[in-house]
């Protein structure tokens, strides 16, 4: 992952949660690629920001609301909870 010294680069991981990816085509490849991007960002000293969705269908603290097991924030990484379909 290429960054410039002093840059404000960040990797934003959005909604990679159990129920969100459950029916996604090629979900194992996608989750693997996200995990690789997270690993490379951490190695390069790039901030990782975790965005997690909740709503009436995806209830907080349920098994489906959890991030996929392969992706876990580290202590100190930014976590953002959202209640709207878009993080942007």
Residue 30: give its domain's CATH number. 3.40.50.850
DSSP-derived letter for residue 75 is: T
Where does the pLDDT of residue 84 fall: very low under 50, low under 70, confident under 90, or very high at 90 and above? confident
The arithmetic mean of pLDDT across residues 38-53, rounded, is: 97
pLDDT at 46: 96
In a domain, 1, yes or no: no
Strand order in the sheet with 78-82: 10-14, 47-53, 78-82
Number of domains in the chain: 1
Phi, psi for 57 (deg, rounded to 5): -90, -25
Structure tokens at 3: 């960054």
In a domain, 87, yes or no: no
DSSP-derived letter for residue 74 is: P
In a domain, 50, yes or no: yes
Q: What is the pTM of this model?
A: 0.85
In a domain, 59, yes or no: yes
Task: Give strand pairing partners of 82.
Answer: 53
pLDDT at 86: 75
In a domain, 2, yes or no: no
DSSP-derived letter for residue 26 is: T
Domain that holds residue 33: 10-82
In a domain, 64, yes or no: yes
Q: Does residue 6 carry a pLDDT above 70? A: no
């Amino acid at each position: 992952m290429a960054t410039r010294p002093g840059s404000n680069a960040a990797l934003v991981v959005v909604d990679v949660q159990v129920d969100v990816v459950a029916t996604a085509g090629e979900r194992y490849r996608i989750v693997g690629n996200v995990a690789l991007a997270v690993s490379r960002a951490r190695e390069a000293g790039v901030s990782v920001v975790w965005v997690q969705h909740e709503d009436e269908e995806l209830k907080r603290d349920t098994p489906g609301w959890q991030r996929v097991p392969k992706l876990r924030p580290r202590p100190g990484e930014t976590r953002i909870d959202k209640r709207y379909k878009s993080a942007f």
